[in-house]
Structure 1
Amino acid sequence: MLSQTKTSPIPVCLSLFLESGRGNKLSSDLKNYIQKLLKVNMEGPYGAEWPAEEKVKRREMSSPEALYIFVYNKESVVGFVHYRFTIEEDVPVLYVYELQLEPAYHGKGLGKFLMQQVELIACNNGMGAVVLTVQKQNTSAINFYLNKLSYNISSISPSKVYQLMGVTGQEKSYEILCKTFDDEAKAVLEES
């Protein structure tokens, strides 16, 4: 009788480094890279909304409030996370505007690592939660946040607000997700 052994995936070793940045100090090359990667990754999930959304994202990325962690391999940038410190429902939060990776780097643990860094930054700066918006069409991203990182659909997400109000026919194309770090944030952003 042959015995079967369960094989585990071989861990991927990546040689990468991180660099921080601010929106109003980005080089034109870096701005062009961000725009290209956003289009590659997000044009599909946004669908017909993409042309208008692309213009909004261009303005957001250059703001002095826009903070970044860039990921580089030996030759070039392979991804980034764009975040800001803000207030949602009177709770100080770190809001993730974008988490974008080159397609060749998907599924290698880099997105999870970057989100862990963002969560650490949030906690070290006294934020009550990390909040982000995800397109409903982007089912792999929704699965990533909800199932792999233990985020929750926030009580401020349109689907929850409309459900609470008993409103139908006002479906939005996105959900707002959060991970809370204290009871006050949890009460406001998850349970209200």
Structure 2
Amino acid sequence: METNNKRRNSSGKEKKIKRKQVLEKKKAINEIIKAACAVKDHLTAFPPFCQYDRNGLSVYLETGFGEHLSSLMKKYIQNLLKANMEGPYGSEWLTEEKVKRREMVAPEARYIFVRLSPNSSLDENPVNKNEKGPCTQWMGDGDRVVGFVHYRFIVEEDIPVIYVYELQLETCAQGKGLGKFLMQLIELIARKNRMGAVMLTVQKANVSAMHFYTNKLRYVISTISPSRVDPLIGAEKSYEILCKTFDGEAKAKLEENIYRRDQ
């Protein structure tokens, strides 16, 4: 009887210790997210990335917040999203557009806006001459906006991550290395703020975007993507979730799936 009581007491202590460890870890992760969100301008830590002057394109970057977007900026974002994403989403676009409008102005939404440098010239000819030229035009104050990144600091599988909701560039700003430059900046911001990974969602129909992320930037399909959670369900979904991890725990949970196999 005494032995059984000792075992129960030992088991109870182990559970308490484990619960405490779980709570402490959760608290630590929340503190990391809170600290990252408290930074007003993540660009200030990376002065060389505040401007881009290559391949005939001269632009500079500025920070923005979802809850502080002007009505003209909201309209611009909506127009650029429609121009770039209506095709890949197909029949799902009408529903998805409403979702994106809500996401766009959320308090946790962070932005990097791309503006043309003063007196810069921009080649308005599309990269692919068979494609249409830019479908959007900045109508607000200041230098012309030609693209943006919408990102957030969130938690996935108990890992703090930057999730890139949107990376959108006008046609005239594409094919000049700017997209890769912006994603490198996002990865630097992630590492600086102790994130375990950068994650994003790509439509399967957006073949060029999938190639860009997986081939050029070496992102991989995450364990939380539908196709890896359940291939049958994944086959019915129109998207994949991609990730690039920066430490062992993030790699194990978001890439290798060893935690789920052991469960």
- Does structure 1 residue 190 correspond to structure 2 residue 249? no
Superposition pairs for residues 40-79 of structure 1, below 5 Å? 40-73=83-116, 74=118, 75-79=143-147
Change (3 A) 1:169 1:130: closer
- Does structure 1 residue 133 correspond to structure 2 residue 198? no
- After superposition, the C-alpha distances for 1:41-70 in whole angstroms (9 at most, x for unaligned) are 000000000000000000001011000000
Deviates more, 1:170-179 or 1:137-146: 170-179
Aligned Cα root-mean-square deviation (Å): 1.2
Superposition pairs for residues 5-84 of structure 1, below 5 Å? 12-73=55-116, 74=118, 75-84=143-152
Superposition pairs for residues 30-179 of structure 1, below 5 Å? 30-73=73-116, 74=118, 75-163=143-231, 167=232, 171-179=236-244
Shift of 1:106: 1.1
- Kept in 1, the 8 Å contact 2:199–2:243? The answer is yes
TM-score, normalised relative to structure 2 = 0.66
- Kept in 1, the 8 Å contact 2:223–2:253? The answer is yes
| SS of structure 1 residue aligned to 2:236 | coil
| SS of structure 2 residue aligned to 1:49 | helix
TM-score, normalised relative to structure 1 = 0.91
Report how many residues are paired: 179
Shift of 1:102: 0.1
Higher helix share: 2
C-alpha distance in 2 between matches for 1:76 and 1:178: 31
> Any gaps of 5 or more consecutive residues in structure 1?
1-10
Bigger Rg, which one: 2
Shift of 1:168: 5.7
